[in-house]
Amino acid sequence: MKALLCKHYGTPDDLTVEDIADPVAGPGEAVVRVKAAALNFFDTLIIAGKYQTKPAMPFSPAAEFAGVVDSVGEGVTGLKAGDRVLGYSGYGAAREQIAARADRLVPIPDTLDFDRAAGLCVTYGTTLHALKDRGHLRNGETLAVLGASGGVGLAAVELGKLMGARVIACASSDDKLAFVKKHGADDVINYARDDLKDALRNATGGKGADVIYDPVGGPYAEPALRAIAWQGRLLVVGFAAGEIPKMPLNLALLKGCDIVGVFWGSFIERDPAGHRANTKQILDWCAQGKLSAHVQAVYPLADAADALKALAARKVMGKIVLRP
């Protein structure tokens, strides 16, 4: 089978597409024919050796996928050849077949196409965990989303609306803001043009945002925290801007607020039942047409470098997907 391989840390152009042996399902595993593998921002880091996970070489990037079960290994129940599934593997999905943990595979409804299904798991999974389990977002509260047109950002806009929040979407260009408005944002802020702290305060009548969803970090986290409401929650999701911000802790004191970490990859290991319930909720909402799971572009494996460069260059709205 064909696989996109990272054989040493480097840039997207260092990746190669090669023929390797087909996988065999071990105990507790299933082999899935990958119809679509979705990329996340962290794939740009994992191939450079700058991510917390450092797989043995050679490995394939892409943490999530959708496809059809080809075979199952010893001890696997509830799955059979021919089932349409989505899965999360952490890495390794940018290839024609993957041997994956069967307990990480979830059947998908016939109405959900493979491209959209592939990119659901990490973005909406992280965000539902963040808003519900960590941020305790309540009906009627104000939610500010940074990087709102990106993968997890768009999920936060859509899930925030479904949970009854007023959503203020923040991004770096008017095109991105028009895109998130189309996906339900109530108000928008261009933080490349306007001062984020002042704009957030103005948009909330001086009260500040109850919950701030921050997958960007860099220069935006502190101004956002300065515009948080009394007893608000700042959700620390990621650092796409590169720099990990350092916060003056007097802000937490003065606002009586919480600075809350979100680590979905660890959550799904520590609370598999909670993760299953969240995934079921996401798939139900998807089947009801309430989540877009928007895919901006689909690339063949051979063009994976272009896909990763688009992510690193801040050019992607929603998800991009590889079709092996």
Ligand X SMILES: NC(=O)c1ccc[n+]([C@@H]2O[C@H](COP(=O)([O-])OP(=O)(O)OC[C@H]3O[C@@H](n4cnc5c(N)ncnc54)[C@H](OP(=O)(O)O)[C@@H]3O)[C@@H](O)[C@H]2O)c1
Residues 250-309 that bind ligand X (CB under 6 A): 262-265
Please say whether the beta carbons of 311 and 122 come within 8 A: no
Site for ligand X (CB under 6 A): which residue of 102, 163, 171, 322?
171
Residue 279 — φ and ψ, nearest 5°?
A: -65, -40
Q: Which stretch binds ligand X (CB under 6 A): 151-159, 197-205, 225-233, 279-287?
A: 151-159
Tell whether residue 122 is a contact of ligand X (CB under 6 A): yes
Residue with smaller CB distance to ligand X, 16 or 173: 173
Cα 145 from Cα 155, distance rounded (Å): 10
Q: What is the DSSP letter of 150?
A: S
Site for ligand X (CB under 6 A): which residue of 89, 97, 142, 172?
172
Whether a cis peptide bond, with omega within 30° of 0, leads into 58 is: yes
Cα 94 from Cα 34, distance rounded (Å): 8
Q: What is the DSSP string of 171-234?
A: ESSHHHHHHHHHTT-SEEEETTTS-HHHHHHHHTTTS-EEEEEES--TTTHHHHHTTEEEEEEE
Reduced to 3 states (helix: H, G, I; strand: E, B; else coil), residue 87 is strand
CA 151 from chain centre, in angstroms, equals: 5
Q: How far is the CB of 270 from ligand X (least distance, A)?
A: 13
Tell whether residue 221 is a contact of ligand X (CB under 6 A): no
Q: How far is the CB of 209 from ligand X (least distance, A)?
A: 17
Q: Give the residue nearest to ligand X (CB).
A: 150
Tell whether residue 204 is a contact of ligand X (CB under 6 A): no
Closest of 14, 102, 18, 7 to residue 301, by C-alpha: 18
Copy the structure tokens of residue 282: 């996401």
Residues 8-67 that bind ligand X (CB under 6 A): 40-42
Tell whether residue 238 is a contact of ligand X (CB under 6 A): yes
Residue with smaller CB distance to ligand X, 90 or 232: 90
Cα 31 from Cα 85, distance rounded (Å): 11
Site for ligand X (CB under 6 A): which residue of 131, 144, 152, 200?
152
Tell whether residue 121 is a contact of ligand X (CB under 6 A): no
Q: How far is the CB of 290 from ligand X (least distance, A)?
A: 20
Tell whether residue 316 is a contact of ligand X (CB under 6 A): yes
Tell whether residue 241 is a contact of ligand X (CB under 6 A): yes
Site for ligand X (CB under 6 A): which residue of 117, 128, 157, 216?
216
Footprint of ligand X on this chain (CB under 6 A)? 40-42, 122, 126, 147, 149-153, 171-172, 176, 215-216, 218, 237-242, 262-265, 311, 314, 316
